[in-house]
Every structure is written in C-alpha cells, then in structure tokens.
C-alpha cells in the first residue's frame, strides 16, 4: 500500500518550485547582507537615510562617473523621477550631496557627492562588503566553488553583468 502511494506522487508544481527558490534566495540574501555581525543595516540606520536616499548616495559613489542629473539617476536606479528628486533634496539638506551647474548647459543641475557624502557612501559599501566577506569566509571550499560557478553562470546575463561592472567600479576592484 505504501509503495502504491509513492508511485502515484505528482511531480512538484513548477510554480511551487519557483516559490521555494524565491524563499531560498531571499534567505540567502538576508544572510549575506544582514546576518550575524553585519554592520550594513546599522550604518544605514545611523545615517538616517531613506532607502531611496541610500540608493542615490551609493550610485553617485562610482569613481569614474561625473555628477548626474536626477533624471539619469532615476533611470539608473529604476525609481520614479519624483522619488529620485525627493531623495536628492534630502541628501542636499543633509549636506551629503550638492547641486552643480552643468558646464555645457547652465539650465541643467547635476548632483555630486560632498566629502561627507563620499565618506558615508564608502562606509555603506565597506559594511556591505564586510558582510559578504564574512559569509564567503564561512563557506567550505566545496560550497565556495559551487557558489562561484553558479554566480559565473548568472553573470552571463547582461543585466547582471552590467550591475557587476558598476559595482566593481564602486568598490575599486
């Protein structure tokens, strides 16, 4: 009787499998970014930044990028222009960014990091990397190899490769 029950089992529903993968991926990301002794959330919380402000601040940190318009930032970050504008206004008030005149078009204002903003962006990025390093160090050699192979496969996707290239510039590697 038990044998008959096991031979009639259905294969997992593909939707359920995707849902399970989503939960696994979410757990993985939470562990990497906020698990244990990670300081990234503490640094962000202490900064008093909103999520959108943090995204704009870190986006401006890329060393080879010029100051950017709010419109360009909204497109790069996938947030509305209004949200990017509110974030920019808050960052200017906190003296983390400044608005600079475009040298080619005086009507255009660009957003650039101040020294204080650059220092905070670097602290956020460093805390993020420290959490990831802690996680990578906790892996066995076999786990590290498997994770790297999976990530290398995903880096073949153009949207992930683009994010990787941008992030690599920000962390200076």
Least confident interval from 89-98, 127-136, 152-161: 127-136
pLDDT at 34: 64
Q: Is the pLDDT of residue 87 over 90?
A: yes
Question: What number is the average pLDDT over the span 43-49?
Answer: 90
Contact 54/47 with Cβ under 8 angstroms? yes
In percent, the amount of the chain with pLDDT more than 70 equals 84
Compute CA distances 21 → 16, 24, 91, whole Å.
9, 5, 36
**Cα distance between residue 162 and residue 62, in whole Å:** 13
Least confident interval from 14-18, 46-50, 65-69, 133-137: 14-18
pLDDT at 2: 47
Q: Is the pLDDT of residue 16 over 70?
A: no
Structure-block tokens of residue 149: 């192979």
pLDDT higher at 129 or 98: 98
**Cα distance between residue 36 and residue 32, in whole Å:** 9
Q: Is the pLDDT of residue 96 over 50?
A: yes
Q: Is the pLDDT of residue 115 over 90?
A: yes
Q: Is the pLDDT of residue 134 over 60?
A: yes
Place of tokens 């690599």: 168
């Amino acid at each position: 009787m038990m044998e008959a029950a096991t031979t009639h089992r259905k294969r997992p529903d593909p939707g359920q499998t995707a849902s399970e993968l989503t939960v696994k991926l979410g757990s993985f990301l939470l562990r990497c970014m906020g698990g244990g002794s990670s300081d990234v959330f503490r640094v962000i919380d202490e900064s008093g930044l909103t999520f959108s402000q943090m995204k704009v601040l870190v986006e401006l940190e890329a060393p080879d990028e010029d100051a950017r318009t709010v419109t360009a930032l909204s497109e790069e970050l996938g947030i509305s222009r209004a949200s990017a504008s509110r974030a920019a206004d808050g960052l200017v008030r906190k003296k983390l960014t400044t608005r600079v005149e475009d040298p080619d078009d005086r009507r255009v204002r660009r957003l650039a990091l101040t020294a204080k903003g650059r220092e905070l962006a670097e602290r956020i990025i460093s805390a993020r990397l420290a959490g990831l390093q802690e996680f990578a160090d906790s892996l066995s050699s076999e786990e590290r190899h498997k994770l790297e192979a999976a990530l290398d496969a995903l880096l073949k996707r153009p949207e992930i490769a683009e994010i990787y290239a941008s992030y690599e510039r920000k962390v200076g590697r």
